């Protein structure tokens, strides 16, 4: 039987397209290579005529797309002799930074908004041994503090303002192109700081400019209504949304994201919390894919824009599912409580419960 070479992470796979040397010590957990899943049921019912895929980034090692950027950011931090990394985070970046710092044998400091991150993400950062600092302020405040403290302490910032993060994250676009054998017509993402939408555009542009593909997608970014500075065209001082991962009012990649919008001919729009949670549930119930609320914003928005004809029939559409649903079980249980039934531990009761539902 012929064996395929073992997959050892995106830096090894895309070495030629990333800023690493032959002797660079790579810090990897096998990130990347995530499934691109074609949706079978949802397009037929809700967005007739589009060819719809989800890129399931929740299957990265720490359960989010952040790992693509973190492998490179931490690899470069080590190469430069850094002994500690720091980030502000709504949760996923902190989980990823903590894991890759542990892998590298260095210290991670993470600033998170008190009470506003999903429990799974908090558990990850704590278990991996990061110094977890809860602040009485939101992500935007944390980001400002991180930038200030990094001027006074020997720590490397691994938020997406670190250019290596975007370089790592651009590989998601490479994978999509390789699998579809073209770029999609539309690529929809949830937007917080707008690092990821900018990174994807870098990847699509690179493959286009190097003649690997002859088309580029229209890039579409969706934000939660209570945290939608791109739609409003101005920063939001008190962002609020159930999708805590994208509870951001002062995006760090503001200018980059507007360039993406202009160059790709795309747009930004908003989704209400209700639309986000409905899309999360729909995807789980109809397709068997469990993503976190923020991730579902991409699908919620794409379905709405497809129904409205803004995304035309016949389009090939990719939605990025940025994080795994298991990160945030609380929100699910609070939404689906009615599905949990308690019955006596007796055969009769079990049989009745089954037959009731089969009628």
Binding site for ligand F0G (CB under 6 A): 64, 66, 89-93, 160, 190-196, 245-246, 292, 294-295, 322-323
Say how far apart CA 285 and CA 158 lie, in whole Å.
35
Residue 165 CB, nearest distance to ligand F0G (Å)?
9
State which residue, 127 or 182, has the beta carbon closest to ligand F0G: 127
Q: How many residues does the chain have?
A: 359
CB-nearer residue toward ligand F0G: 26 or 194? 194
Question: Least distance in Å: CB of 354 to ligand F0G?
Answer: 36
Comparing CB distances to ligand F0G, the nearer of 140 and 305 is 140
Burial class (CB in 10 A: 0-12, 13-18, 19+), 206: middle
Residue number with CB closer to ligand F0G (106 or 189): 189
24 or 84: CB nearest ligand F0G: 84
Contact 190, 223 (CB under 8 A): yes
Least distance (Å) from ligand F0G to the CB of residue 325?
10
Shortest Cβ 26–ligand F0G spacing (Å): 23
Cβ atoms within 10 Å, residue 346 = 9
State in angstroms the smallest separation of the CB of 64 from ligand F0G: 5
β-pair type (107-113, 186-190): unpaired
Q: Which of residues 52 and 110 has its CB atom nearest to ligand F0G in the complex?
A: 110
Instruction: Give min distance, CB of 4 to ligand F0G, in A.
Output: 30
d(CA 304, CA 299): 8
Q: CA–CA separation, 266 vs 246, rounded Å?
A: 20
From CA 232, how far away is CA 242, in angstroms rounded?
A: 19
Q: How far, rounded to the nearest angstrom, does the alpha carbon of residue 159 sit from its chain's CA centroid?
A: 14
Q: Which is nearer to ligand F0G, 85 or 191 (CB)?
A: 191
Provide the sign of the torsion angle of the four alpha carbons 159, 96, 122, 270, taken in this order. positive
Least distance from ligand F0G to the Cβ atom of residue 177, Å: 20
CA dist., res. 31 & res. 235, Å (int)? 33
Burial (Cβ within 10 Å: 0-12, 13-18, ≥19) of residue 284: middle
């Amino acid at each position: 039987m012929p064996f395929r070479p073992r997959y050892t992470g995106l830096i090894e796979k895309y070495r030629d397209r990333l800023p690493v040397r032959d002797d660079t010590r790579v810090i990897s957990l096998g990130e990347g290579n995530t499934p691109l899943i074609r949706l079978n049921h949802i397009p037929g019912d809700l967005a007739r005529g589009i060819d719809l895929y989800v890129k399931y980034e929740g299957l990265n090692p720490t359960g989010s797309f952040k790992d693509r950027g973190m492998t490179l950011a931490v690899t470069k931090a080590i190469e430069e002799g850094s002994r500690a990394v720091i980030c502000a985070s709504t949760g996923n970046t902190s989980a990823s930074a903590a894991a890759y710092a542990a892998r590298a044998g260095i210290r991670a400091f993470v600033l998170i908004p008190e009470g506003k991150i999903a429990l799974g993400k908090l558990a990850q950062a704590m278990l991996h041994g990061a110094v977890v600092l809860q602040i009485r302020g939101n992500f935007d405040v944390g980001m400002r503090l991180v930038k200030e403290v990094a001027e006074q302490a020997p720590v490397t910032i691994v938020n997406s303002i670190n250019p290596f993060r975007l370089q790592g994250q651009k590989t998601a676009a490479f994978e999509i192109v390789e699998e579809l054998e073209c770029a999609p017509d539309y690529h929809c993402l949830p937007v917080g700081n707008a690092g990821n939408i900018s990174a994807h555009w870098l990847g699509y542009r690179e493959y286009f400019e190097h003649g690997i593909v002859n088309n580029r997608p229209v890039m579409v970014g969706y934000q939660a209504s209570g945290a939608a500075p791109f739609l409003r065209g101005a920063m939001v001082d008190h962002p609020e949304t159930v999708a805590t991962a994208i509870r951001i009012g002062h995006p760090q990649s503001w200018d980059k994201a507007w360039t993406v919008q202009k160059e790709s001919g795309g747009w930004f729009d908003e989704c209400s919390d209700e639309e986000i949670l409905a899309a999360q549930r729909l995807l789980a119930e109809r397709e068997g894919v469990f993503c976190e609320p923020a991730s579902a914003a991409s699908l919620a928005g794409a379905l709405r824009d497809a129904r409205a004809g803004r995304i035309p029939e016949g389009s090939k559409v990719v939605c990025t599912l940025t994080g795994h649903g298991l990160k945030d079980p609380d929100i699910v249980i609070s939404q689906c409580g009615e599905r949990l039934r308690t019955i006596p531990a007796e055969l009769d009761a079990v049989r009745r419960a089954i037959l009731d539902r089969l009628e």
